[in-house]
Structure 1
Amino acid sequence: MMAAAAAAVGLASVEGSLVHDRNVGDFRQVDPDDDNKGDFFTATSDKAYYSSSNDPFVCVTSFDKVLQQVVSGINYQFHVHGCAVDAPSKAKADCTCGDRPIQKFVIEVYAQAWTQTYKVTKV
């Protein structure tokens, strides 16, 4: 009986070590890919998707890091380099900064692609 109890405790500790130490709903880093970049550019290239009229529009020249959190859709945090532009039409995937200064930005986006729901929540 003691051997069975010891084995059960040992098994429980092994199983516990196999479980991720990340909580459900936490942000996790993912590679920038066509899907998350597609969500990004869909949201950032349309003024209707911005939650604040004070947020700048950004022409992104590089993606440094992408974090995502699965909720009713996906919350993203895009860590990017780019420049502020004066219109969302200038924030499309093929945009260029020209002589505008390149800066770091963290742009937060909510996307629920299957319902066509997008929101730029913070720049």
Structure 2
Amino acid sequence: MAVQSSSFTALIILGTATAIPVFAAVDPYAETVAYIDWSVNYSNKVRGKAYAITSNPSMTKINVTASFYQDGTKKESGTGSTTNLNQEAYWLTKDGVYDETNSYSMDVASRTYYSGGSYDQQYASTTW
């Protein structure tokens, strides 16, 4: 198990030494999701949601960051966070703005912090 540290581990690949920081631990209870679906409030519109959640009792905080694109152009970005166990850290796009006939994508990154100083980073993406 790796913990946050300023030390490095050397990795030899085909005779080349590369320094890799040792700081992150993988949380099997954490989940990061990128989601685009129809709006429940507006006909023929879609909305994006990004969220991260964990049931790991060592969690102290979750941050989620997302970028939402229409036809490859960034339209929105935002963040969300929580310090509550089993509660989503989330961010939503504006509602009633994005027509269902366009193409959309969303990229999401999350970082979950734990007591003791370790953290887990996860990524997700989706398209419409």
Superposition TM-score tier, normalisation by shorter sequence: under 0.3
Which has the larger share of helix?
Answer: 1
Larger radius of gyration: 1
When normalised by structure 1's length, the TM-score is 0.24
